[in-house]
Amino acid sequence: MSRELRGTPAAPGVAIAAPWVHRPPQSDAPASVSLAEATEIAAAEVGVLASRLRDRGREAEAEILDAQCLMATDPVLHEAAEELIANGADSAMAIVEAGEAVAASFEAIGDEILAARGADVRDITTRIARIMTGAAPPRLERRSVVVAADLPPSVTVELDRALLAGIALEGGSRTAHAAILSRSLGIPAVVGVRGLCKAAAAAAELAVDGDAGIVYLDPDAAVSAGLARTAEAARQRVDLDARFATVALATADGHRVTCAANIGEPADAAAAFGAGAEAIGLFRTEFAFAGRRTAPDEMVQAAAYAEVLRAAGGAEVVFRLADIGGDKPIAYLPLEPEANPFLGVRAIRLAQRHPDLLPTQLRAILRASLVAGQRASIMAPMVADDEDLDLVLDLVADACAAVPDAPVPRVGIMVEVPSAVLLADRLAPRVEFMSIGTNDLTQYLLAADRSNAALAARQDPLHPVVLRAIARVVEAAHEAPGCDVAVCGEMAGDPAGAQLLVGIGVDELSMDPRAIGAVKRAVGARTLPELVALVASVEQLRSAAEVRAAVETAS
Amino acid sequence: MPDAEVEIRNPSGLHARPAAAFVRAAAVFAADVTVTNLTRDSARSASAKSVLGVMGLAVARGHRIRIAAEGSDADDAVTRLTELVDSGLGEAIDGE
């Protein structure tokens, strides 16, 4: 018989699946890994999770995990743990207890923000202890509704998204980390459900209604049918998109555009090709630098890069040179804190202060290219003018001289700084491709900080001024011999954005692999003349919202 | 031992992102740098290189802190960190 428990709606959507009860790992098992080593591994793991969020454009959520990286090595935590160990405590227990003491002291202050930081301390120390005892990370075996007293932020990101159907928490509020993350990841969630953990343990199936804030235990036929209808409509849309994933990216009248994927880790490459990508249009290489104590040497980097080239099996892979800046902590690259990291010394601007960074990375890419027997494409971020491009071309030439047997790379630039848009006619003849980063370009053109939630409405790349900038770059590139234009920002993975980009004349769309089906379906539904006319019809509109409404009405 | 006092004007105090920015900045100096929340408890100090220590001082908007340093680059550390706090630690603050 169906029973229902009421809580607070935290993330919309419906999910029906078996419950999977998350319990914090036991830290009383004997430690097999040292505290120092486990700390380093934990910081690296959380760094990877942060970059995964950043890849999805989840800057604010990624910062939660950045803070955890910093906490992992905190002297206060480690001094407290060492003291407990000196008094005879087991080392894994000691770090958990030290974290608990810090969290409790934060909670005692009676400030909501600080209390949430306490949860972060528990999250990272639990992770360190889990690594020390050699326990397996939390893992879903089948499609599940995750049930917990509270779900730490890093665990929410770590669980396999394909199997994570819904979240139901006994504790928490709408503003808890887990709730924010589930909304941003699109996972239906209900929080603050009293008596949930005990009740769910005995249930075979749970239904989560994230809109109404209800958890059904063993839902009966009528409840399931009602929820299923809602879920089915949403699923049909997803299935339809999935059927389009393997077709070519083309308009209804056969105009072909290259469908590429954005990835942030070598392991993502194979899945991207499986999801219907023909190339890797943006391989973010920051993963190689994050969460480490020392700089990755040339060979370590080369091994990781070769993995992607091999997975590509001859298809193009665009390596974006490290886009590191004052907003991301890199332990071995002391960066001056800046009032405006997005306008600061980042990406290729680091070349002067850290003269080994880019040459090492370039040699590693060429070495990988040599080993894999495949040409690499190299893309420089934050190129603002001719002098920046001079620097990049010089560095690439030096690297080619150092690895003379490697295939000569294709060299291109990321167009994200407004000056590069205005100079596109001068830059295009000097490169083989340009890839427009619409996320940063939008923030710079409209002077709206991406990480400031209050300005979220100003971050929509469908703004007419962004379309105008893209058209200008496309025109300049196509006038230059042999220069292609791609778009690798989130706009390329937005069906409405993709339709406009194809209408403007972009040669390649590079997107999150999960967006491929929906984009192919949207572009395939229209002919090229229709999309060209659509672009012309929105030119005179005044806001991103007007453009979006016009594109959606036309579809 | 050089020190300086400065008022925190960040909307959420030295709790989240600004605390991390402050600690990352302090880490570049060789000197031992300590922070005291004068408004809350002038008898309690924390290392400026510990994010948990700094957060634990519960520095809210409007609180005054003292930054003190000891070591080879102590003067530089106090000057630079004070300037950084004054400029909002990368966040928009009143008057800008």
Count other Cβ atoms within 10 Å, centred on residue B38. Answer: 14
CB contact under 8 A, B51 and A71: yes
| Length reported for chain B | 96
State the nearest Cα–Cα gap between A383 and chain B, in angstroms.
Answer: 23
Task: Please tell me the least confidently modeled range out of A295-309, B8-22, B38-52.
Answer: B8-22
- What mean pLDDT comes out for the span B43-57? 93
Nearest partner of A175 among A52, A19, A60, judged by Cα: A60
Higher pLDDT: B59 or A291? It is B59
Give the H or E element holding residue A67. helix A59-72
Contact between B24 and A337 using a beta-carbon 8 Å cutoff: yes
ipTM at complex level: 0.88
* Tokens 């000569």 belong to residue: A408
Tell me the average pLDDT across B61-86: 93
All domains of chain A, ordered by start, with CATH?
A: 3-22+138-240 (3.50.30.10), 35-132 (1.10.274.10), 245-554 (3.20.20.60)
Q: Which amino acid is at A419?
A: S
Hey, are the CB atoms on B90 and A105 less than 8 Å from each other? no
Of A102, A327, A334, the CB nearest to B52: A102
- The CA-atom distances, in angstroms, between A428 and each of A322, A323, A440 are 22, 21, 19
d(Cα A128, Cα A131) in Å, to the nearest integer? 5
pLDDT of residue B96: 37
Q: Which of B50, B51, B55 sits opposite A114 (nearest CB)?
A: B55
Residue B95's pLDDT is: 42
Interface touch A71/B52, C-beta < 8 Å: yes
Pairwise CB contact (< 8 Å): B51 & A105: no
Inter-chain touch B52–A111, beta carbons under 8 Å: no
Q: Residue A173, SS3?
A: coil
**Chain B residue nearest residue A337, CA to CA:** B25
CB-nearest partner of A113 from B12, B28, B46? B12
Judge whether A320 and A289 are in contact, CB under 8 Å.
no
In angstroms, the CA A296 to CA A330 distance is 11
Q: Of B21, B24, B55, which has the smallest distance from its Cβ to A117's Cβ?
A: B55
Across A167-182, b (16+ Cβ under 10 Å) vs e yields: bbbbbbeeebbbbbbb
- B28·A334 Cβ contact <8 A: yes
Sign, CA dihedral A356-A359-A361-A364, equals negative
**Alpha helices, DSSP H only, in A453-543?**
464-479, 495-504, 516-524, 528-538
Residue A532 CB neighbours (<10 A): 17
The pLDDT of residue A292: 67
Grouping H, G, I as helix, E, B as strand and the rest as coil, residue A308 is: helix
- Who among A77, A334, A338 is closest to B90 (CB)? A338
CA distance A390 to chain B (A): 31
User: In angstroms, rounded to a whole number, what is the distance separating the alpha carbons of residues A62 and A46?
Assistant: 10
Q: Cβ contact (<8 Å) for B53 and A105?
A: no
pLDDT band, residue B93 (cuts 50/70/90): low
Q: Which residues pair with A144 in a beta bridge?
A: A18, A164
Higher model confidence: residue A144 or residue A238?
A144
Q: How confident is the model at residue A459 (pLDDT cuts 50, 70, 90)?
A: confident
| Mean pLDDT over the full length of chain B | 88
**What's the pLDDT score for residue A175?**
54
Q: What pLDDT band is residue A319 in, cutting at 50, 70 and 90?
A: very high
How many Å lie between the alpha carbon of B51 and the closest alpha carbon of chain A?
6
Q: Does B61 touch chain A (CB under 8 A)?
A: no
CB B79 within 8 A of CB B73: no
The reply to whether B55 touches chain A by the CB within 8 Å rule is yes
Chain B neighbors of A335, CB-CB under 8 A: 24
- Going by C-alpha positions, the residue among A142, A126, A119, A145 that lies closest to residue A11 is A145
B16 at the A interface (CB within 8 A)? yes
CA A29 to chain centre: 34
Determine phi and psi for A149, rounding to 5 degrees.
Answer: -65, -50
CA dihedral sign of residues A126, A129, A131, A136: negative
Where is average pLDDT lowest: A285-299, A325-339, B77-91?
A: A325-339
Cβ–Cβ contact B27 with A under 8 A: yes
Beta carbons of A114 and B89 less than 8 Å apart: no
> Measuring CA to CA, how many Å separate A96 from each of A81, A84, A127, B49?
8, 11, 9, 21
User: Would the CA dihedral through A39, A41, A46, A47 be positive or negative?
Assistant: positive
Quick one: pLDDT at residue A445? 96
- The Cα of A328 is separated from the nearest Cα of chain B by a number of Å equal to 10
Q: Which tokens sit at A380?
A: 């420089």
Handedness of CA A451, A502, A488, A471 (dihedral sign): negative
In this prediction, what percent of chain A has a pLDDT beyond 70? 95
Put the strands of the sheet holding A14-21 in their side by side order.
A3-6, A214-217, A206-209, A14-21, A144-148, A164-169, A189-191, A8-11
Cα distances from A388 to residues A393, A419, A539, B64, in angstroms, run 9, 11, 32, 43
pLDDT-based confidence at residue A329 (cuts at 50, 70, 90)? low
CB A181 within 8 A of CB A153: yes
The tally of CA atoms less than 13 A away on the side-chain side of residue A110 is 0
Catalytic annotation, pick one of B15, B61, B63, B66: B15
Q: Is A106 an 8 Å CB contact of chain B? A: yes
B8 touches chain A (CB under 8 A): no
Complete DSSP assignment for B18-43: HHHHHHHHHTT-SSEEEEEETTT-TT
Q: Which of A459-468, A535-544, B7-16 has the lowest mean pLDDT?
A: B7-16
CA distance A452 to A494: 21
**Has B15 been annotated as catalytic?**
yes
B14 interface with A at CB cutoff 8 Å: no
On whether any CB of chain B is under 8 Å from the CB of A107, the answer is no
Give the three-state DSSP class for A536: helix
Residues of chain B with C-beta less than 8 angstroms from the C-beta of A334 = 27-28
Instruction: Compute the distance between CA of residue A484 and CA of residue A270 in angstroms, rounded to an integer.
Output: 25
Token pair for B71: 């070591």
Please say whether the beta carbons of A153 and A65 come within 8 A: yes
The alpha carbon of residue B64 is apart from the nearest alpha carbon of chain A, in Å, by 18
Q: Are A412 and A379 in contact (CB under 8 A)?
A: yes
Superfamily of domain B3-86: HPr-like (3.30.1340.10)
Contact between A223 and A207 (Cβ < 8 Å): yes
Contact B49 A75 (CB under 8 A): yes
Verify whether the Cβ–Cβ distance B55 to A341 is below 8 Å: no
| Number of A–B residue contacts, CB under 8 Å | 72
**Which positions in chain B touch A327 (Cβ < 8 Å)?**
90
Would the CB atoms of A337 and B47 count as touching at under 8 Å?
no
Farthest-apart Cα atoms in chain B, separation? 35
The one-character DSSP state at A407 is: P
Rg (CA), chain B: 12
